[in-house]
Chains A and B, each alone.
Chain A
């Protein structure tokens, strides 16, 4: 049975979700099914994580069933150091949703189940076509969750996110087909297996177009500046559990995609445009950080904050060195846990007070100390305080950025301070200052809620103090992935020389 661990993790949620749609279940029954399935997936996920050695840097837990021999399309799954932490995030975070939000409709829980299965599938797929199938299937439940159960302005938000992501993914489909055709042209046989395709190194104008196709798809999903405009609306209008899924896991699958496909196959294009992409990551950080400062809506602020932190995660990929890449892979989980917890806590506030306006809050810390403590830990991890998981990842990324381009590193490091500003300010306004009378009845976390969130909070601290077990699983694969592009890195001509802005100006010109 345990040979097909990944398949079980993918299809148990999907089948359960479809069954919940079709069968006339009550809301509670659907929720309990969801909870049971997600706990099973967590257990299996932990088993995979522990059994995964990572030493070889190659795929483990491999499954392979050919689907279309003539085109080399196969149902093939596997996990390596690049996907293991994303997989862990997708597998372990879901039970919280079923425990914390008990009042949704049946279809909502069914959609959550399907989206979980599809996300695990997208991370575990080692065949491009299979990956694409899961990638699209992942989108549909989100479409329905926002459109059916979202906030008052949900329709425009739904249409925006759907059109954006479908446009991106269809461009990616063209690029995937192009990769398959190129492999056929180079080797004479058909294959869409990632292991085969990543051996290729494509150059030339068409390859650049294919590179753009991939990059746009992933940049929309991450989202990377300037493709982030769907994010504030979608994150704000989505029901909180969906926002949680989007920010904690789905955005990470975009990052994962870049590392997995774009870096090895389009090494040359990637190296050539890395600086521009890194800049776009930093601009996104700054822009969303400043936008977060100005928000009055709690959820919208967290949305911008999440986008801002995705900027630095993206930056880590574009620096093309081992520190930054390891940092990115680590930060994927760090961000998923910290931002995830923030969104979940926000969801609890929203359910209890029916408001998201920051001005309506105040003095929560005295009324709900446990709630405030959890929020504080997640917030500090989100801003990267040493001793929390956020510090390790962001430190590694900035370290890598210094090696890549000191100027970028300076900007990125400075921007992190904006993050501290809006987060601490938010914390002050919500949890301290004078208590707001509207919040008189605000109860602290119940025992179930506390126990639900506690493991994640502990994980945040553990990952901050003792990151070694996680890093050890990532590093061999990260090195292997980078070795694929080392050839290009050594060629100096692909590294754009950065001129310091204004350094050619003479004092007289000013």
Chain B
């Protein structure tokens, strides 16, 4: 019974998804009704997740369902972030599809399924469960990207993502097989015990297996050198889906990352030096890509790569004794709030068929829609790490964690990278505020996304007061 209680949010989300699928089969449900239902279900799942009692510290060793799943404060908060991402993406979608083609009634159902996979990912304490969760999430995301079958752009994006994602999935399975060969078990607890007994580097199957799994996870996390797909896929997906991918998928993947690296200190130590270079390269390559972009969506995609780099810094710094994952979660929450905020704002400012997509399309926005421009500016400043926003505190905790674990150079490189990123964040602010407007950015009907944007702008400030222990 306790097991069931622990996965209640998962059950709620999955039930909601099936409910949505059934609802979509009835003709009487129109786009508006389905949208409201989808948003409501995300809100419901969020509150269910909120009520789950869980005070356990982070651990990769599960007890529920025979060690398949693990629940802790870490998984709970990660789940909250994911469901909040889903909620705000759903709000953005409602508005987006009043101006854009390509809505299918199963859209929200797929979002819920994706969220379901993500929740499972954060809780997985066993490799096969992990794989199933990963595929539930990925398949739903593929469908979301390509829900508009007639669009060439969407089809191209999904093809790229699907092909590479299939490879990543295959890598993951292969890695699991190796680890099973090395540790005679797929459960994290057993793997950790085997490593503790016989050592990590002496066991080639474990080394190779965990390498393959890391490759798959780095692919999903959009880290260097597996970042090449990000810009095209994010650009090709419908705007709210891009926002959902950039935030919720990242949250889920980094939760897995933290869980997986926590299996054993030696495993984490084995990968730290690689993760070190990967994080540096991810940050700087991401910055270089972002600086060159003219499309906002592509710039945000590339800046997502940079933020993955910062999060990997936090993974490198895991080895301090009292690690509790709060640094990672705080950063993810701050990043999710600001990124989703921008996507929510773009979903109503983008216009029909995403006609406004480049920097120059937003010339003089502040003169016509000052509140929207102010919100976007707040989100950008948060992403750039300027106080008093949550993004600043997130960066502060990550750099402090790196310094504390002795990675001074990594922290300094992170700082330098955020100086570079000022370039493209400031660019949008300059365009919005210092140019003359060319159009009126009209929004026809009463919609939810402006409200969502406003709430997210407030939460960017509110999140920074959440205390975090490094």
Name the distance in Å between A133's Cβ and chain B's nearest Cβ: 4
Of B36-44, B277-285, B404-412, the segment with at least 4 beta carbons within 8 Å of chain A is B404-412
CB contacts under 8 Å to B, within A151-199, are: 154-155, 158-159, 162-163, 166-167, 170-171, 173-174, 177-178, 180-181, 184
Beyond A170-B418, A171-B415, whether A162 also contacts B403 by CB under 8 A is no
Beyond A70-B469, A170-B415, A180-B400, whether A158 also contacts B387 by CB under 8 A is no
Majority secondary structure of chain A interface residues (helix, strand, loop or mixed) = helix
Interface pair B399/A71, CB less than 8 Å apart: no
Report chain A residues within 8 Å CB of B423.
Answer: 163
CB contacts under 8 Å to B, within A94-139, are: 129, 132-133, 136-137
Report chain B residues within 8 Å CB of A154.
Answer: 434
Kindly identify which residue among B411, B468, B469, B470 contacts A174, using a CB–CB cutoff of 8 Å: B411
Interface pair A177/B386, CB less than 8 Å apart: no
B426 at the interface (CB under 8 A from A): yes
Interface pair A166/B422, CB less than 8 Å apart: yes
Interface pair A137/B388, CB less than 8 Å apart: yes
Report chain A residues within 8 Å CB of B403.
Answer: 177-178, 181
Name the distance in Å between A88's Cβ and chain B's nearest Cβ: 25
A68 at the interface (CB under 8 A from B): yes
A484 at the interface (CB under 8 A from B): no
A428 at the interface (CB under 8 A from B): no
Report chain B residues within 8 Å CB of A147.
Answer: 430, 433-434
Kindly identify which residue among B400, B412, B418, B467 contacts A181, using a CB–CB cutoff of 8 Å: B400
Interface pair B434/A136, CB less than 8 Å apart: no
Interface pair B386/A136, CB less than 8 Å apart: yes
Closest to A69 in B: B467
B419 at the interface (CB under 8 A from A): yes
Interface pair B387/A162, CB less than 8 Å apart: no
Interface pair B465/A67, CB less than 8 Å apart: yes
Interface pair B433/A155, CB less than 8 Å apart: no
Closest to B397 in A: A71
Name the distance in Å between A412's Cβ and chain B's nearest Cβ: 34
Report chain B residues within 8 Å CB of A140.
Answer: 381, 386
Name the distance in Å between B430's Cβ and chain A's nearest Cβ: 7
Report chain A residues within 8 Å CB of B399.
Answer: 173-174, 177
B396 at the interface (CB under 8 A from A): yes
Closest to B381 in A: A140
Closest to B405 in A: A181
Majority secondary structure of chain B interface residues (helix, strand, loop or mixed) = helix
Beyond A136-B386, A174-B412, A177-B400, whether A144 also contacts B430 by CB under 8 A is no
CB contacts under 8 Å to A, within B430-459, are: 430, 433-434
A421 at the interface (CB under 8 A from B): no
Report chain B residues within 8 Å CB of A178.
Answer: 403, 408
Interface pair A148/B396, CB less than 8 Å apart: no
Interface pair A133/B422, CB less than 8 Å apart: no
Report chain B residues within 8 Å CB of A137.
Answer: 387-388
CB contacts under 8 Å to A, within B356-392, are: 374, 381, 385-388, 392
Complex Cα–Cα for A174 and B96 (A):
40
Closest to B385 in A: A170
Complex Cα–Cα for A162 and B388 (A):
17
Interface pair A173/B434, CB less than 8 Å apart: no
Report chain B residues within 8 Å CB of A148.
Answer: 433-434
Give the residue among A133, A144, A180, A209 with the most B Cβ atoms within 10 A. A133
Give the residue among B392, B399, B403 with the most A Cβ atoms within 10 A. B403
Closest to A178 in B: B403
Closest to A185 in B: B404
Report chain A residues within 8 Å CB of B388.
Answer: 133, 137
Report chain A residues within 8 Å CB of B469.
Answer: 70-71
Name the distance in Å between A206's Cβ and chain B's nearest Cβ: 6
Complex Cα–Cα for A155 and B423 (A):
14
List 29 A–B pairs whose Cβ atoms lie within 8 Å, in order of A's numbering: A21-B374, A68-B467, A70-B469, A71-B400, A71-B470, A133-B387, A136-B386, A136-B387, A147-B433, A147-B434, A155-B430, A155-B434, A158-B434, A159-B426, A159-B430, A163-B423, A163-B426, A166-B386, A167-B422, A170-B385, A170-B418, A173-B399, A173-B415, A177-B396, A177-B400, A180-B400, A184-B404, A209-B408, A209-B412
Known pairs A170-B416, A177-B396; list 7 more (Cβ under 8 Å): A71-B469, A133-B392, A137-B387, A144-B433, A147-B430, A158-B430, A171-B415
The 9 A-B residue pairs whose C-beta atoms are closest, nearest first, are A133-B387, A70-B469, A181-B403, A174-B415, A68-B467, A147-B434, A167-B419, A136-B387, A177-B400
